[in-house]
Amino acid sequence: MRPDAGPNPATEPPAPEPPTTEPPAPERPDFRAALARGPEAAVEAAWQLKMLNWGERHRERGGDPASPLAGLLRLLRAAHAEPRLRRLMPGTSHFSLWFSLSTTYPSVAAGPTITEPLRGGGYLVRFRTDEDPVPAATAEEAVALIVASLPADLGEVFNHPVEQGR
């Protein structure tokens, strides 16, 4: 080989791979295994799964910070940071968040609130279907409204008995 021919791929080690821009995917909790460990484990697994699943949807749809997906993620994180809500089973549908005392179907409402993000920012906290919703500027403000509405004697979270064949 001539001295000016450059590196020889047969004798030179390959260049290191460039670092990836995305962190490795977090491990997904096994909800069925968590249920078997008890309601507290099931609740924590459900929180983690909600945040992972909604986070993935948000990234897949472009990550718009003003989207309802982004608003729901902020709401989930703020609610999970609040101990009185973190102990409850989170439920989500159509970008709304509510809480249950039961880890499995049927849900048992934990407080009279459903909270939904608004496109472009802010939240609506619904205490009852026959009342006007209360606006909140931030996820933290919405969470404070939810916590203030929880009854003092809320009760413990539980697993419904698993029905055969389900």
Q: What is the pLDDT of residues 115-127, one digit of tens each?
A: 999 987 899 999 8
- Least confident stretch, 4-8, 52-56, 114-118, 130-134: 4-8
- Picking from 101, 75, 76, the residue whose alpha carbon sits closest to that of residue 88 is 101
Check residue 14 and give its pLDDT.
67
Check residue 2 and give its pLDDT.
58
How does 23-33 read in b/e, with b if 16+ C-beta sit within 10 Å?
eeeeeebebee
Please report which helix (H) or strand (E) contains residue 117, including its range.
strand 114-117
144 pLDDT above the threshold of 80: yes
End-to-end CA distance of the chain: 70
Q: 127 in helix, strand or coil? A: coil
163 pLDDT above the threshold of 60: no
21 pLDDT above the threshold of 90: no
Q: Which amino acid appears at position 82 of this protein?
A: E
Better pLDDT: 17 or 117: 117
Q: Are 90 and 79 in contact (CB under 8 A)?
A: yes
Check residue 82 and give its pLDDT.
97
Check residue 30 and give its pLDDT.
95
